[in-house]
Amino acid sequence: MDSITSSSYAVHFNAVAYSMLNEHLENANYSKVFILVDENTHEYCLPKFMSNISVACEFEIIEIEAGEIHKNIETCSQVWEVLSELDADRKSLMINLGGGVITDLGGFVASTFKRGIDFINVPTTLLSMVDASVGGKTGVDLGPLKNQVGVINQPIMVLVVSNFLETLEERQLQSGFAEMLKHGLLKSMEYWEQLKNVTSYTDLDALIYESVVMKNEVVLQDPTEQSLRKILNYGHTLGHAIESYFLESDEHELLLHGEAIAIGMILEAFLSYKLTNLSEKELVDIKKEFSSRYKKVDFSSEDIKSILELLKFDKKNSHGNINFVLLTAIGETAIDVQVPHELFKESFEYYQE
């Protein structure tokens, strides 16, 4: 697969990924190479990864606990301190080997350690391959509020090696696929139809590539999210609030990111139908597709109230207004749409129907 060039770095795939990495390590003369993992990627991905390294470097492994709940400043402090203790310097490299928590948090830690050291992202989940791999968003959560602290900073390279997906459970793959379905809704009816045809989450290479190309094109045109890049937030305004709420709640089972934004995409399709002329036929098509892949969640009116409360912390807000990305049709979007408050409850009713 051809490598994809982004602003200042490239995304390399499969066999090419390892040869580019080895070449880079050979030439860059790093003082030390740190690999950030969680207990899962330590066990299942690191051996695979190391067996493809052919360069003699000094490697140090830093392990953090798995899970969104650990994507916070306390974990960053631990990693910064370990880096200090292990004599990391400005010529050190950090390789983030894991899902979105590892690449988001590791990217932030690297971007801020001694005001910034090189880092490479090696996403090991479908979600992080198609989402976190390009765009340069790094950061951590602040309590239940997602990604409130972070910077935009680019890795040196991104390596997408699809056989890491073999280490994942079906539910994880399904969650990641929600972001790809989002790319379909944003890009074209043709890509959406292609994705709808997927019945098994093995052998997604061509579609992963397509999704990375799509996201990369958007991000290159608008790296700092002034306008076009906002479309990538489709489903995420309500989706993030739902994810945050479930993360904090003791009564509910944890929702994976993709599962939360799948609900967000149904809700925001309903808002699109009401506000930006999405046709009823496409609305029904979207609801049907997500409902068939993701299990339905029951929201009490208390739940909904709490979720809507969290909306005000959305990063896209300003001056007290909540700005949505909505669809005008499958493959077409409108940004900065303000939604009358009464429609939120209606959208949850439509989801629950």
- Which residues of the shown chain bind its own copies in the complex (CB under 8 A)? 31, 73, 76-77, 80-81, 84, 87, 89-91, 108, 111-116, 137, 139, 142-143, 145, 147-152, 312-313, 315-320
Nearer CB in complex with its own copies: 247/283 = 247
Q: Give min distance, CB of 260 to its own copies, in A.
A: 20
Contact yes or no for 150/139 (Cβ under 8 A) = yes
* 212 contacts: CB under 8 Å, gap ≥ 6: 4, 11, 129, 130, 133, 134, 160
Looking at the Cβ atoms of 20 and 145, the one nearer to its own copies is 145
Least Cβ distance, residue 353 to its own copies (angstroms)? 33
Cβ-based nearer residue to its own copies, 143 or 340: 143
Up-side HSE of residue 174: CA atoms within 13 Å toward CB?
16
Q: Rounded to the nearest whole angstrom, what is the least distance from the CB of residue 83 to its own copies in the complex?
A: 9
Closest separation in Å from C-beta 129 to its own copies: 22
Contact of 186 with 232, CB cutoff 8 Å: yes
Judged by beta carbon, residue 244 or residue 272, the one nearer its own copies is 244
Is the CB of 281 or the CB of 319 nearer to its own copies?
319
The answer to whether 178 and 262 have CB atoms below 8 angstroms apart is: yes
Tokens found for residue 239: 């989706």
Query: What ranges make up the beta strands (E) of 170-229?
Result: none
The residue assigned the tokens 């807000």 is: 317
Give φ, ψ of 57 to 5 degrees. Answer: -130, 165
In whole angstroms, the minimum distance from the beta carbon of 299 to its own copies comes to: 24
Question: Whole-number minimum distance, CB 31 to its own copies, in Å?
Answer: 4
Beta bridge partners, 321, equal 318
Task: Tell me how far, at minimum, the Cβ of 300 lies from its own copies, in Å.
Answer: 26
Nearer to its own copies, 74 or 251 (CB): 74
Burial of 335 from C-beta contacts in 10 A (0-12 / 13-18 / 19+): middle
Residue 194 to residues 108, 212, 299, Cα–Cα distance (Å): 35, 15, 31
Using alpha carbons, select from 2, 55, 12 the residue that is nearest to residue 157. 12
Q: What letter does residue 137 receive in the DSSP assignment?
A: B
Task: Please identify, using beta-carbon distances, which residue of 114 and 345 lies nearer to its own copies.
Answer: 114
Hey, what amino acid is at 316?
A: K
- The structure tokens listed for 71 are 């994507």
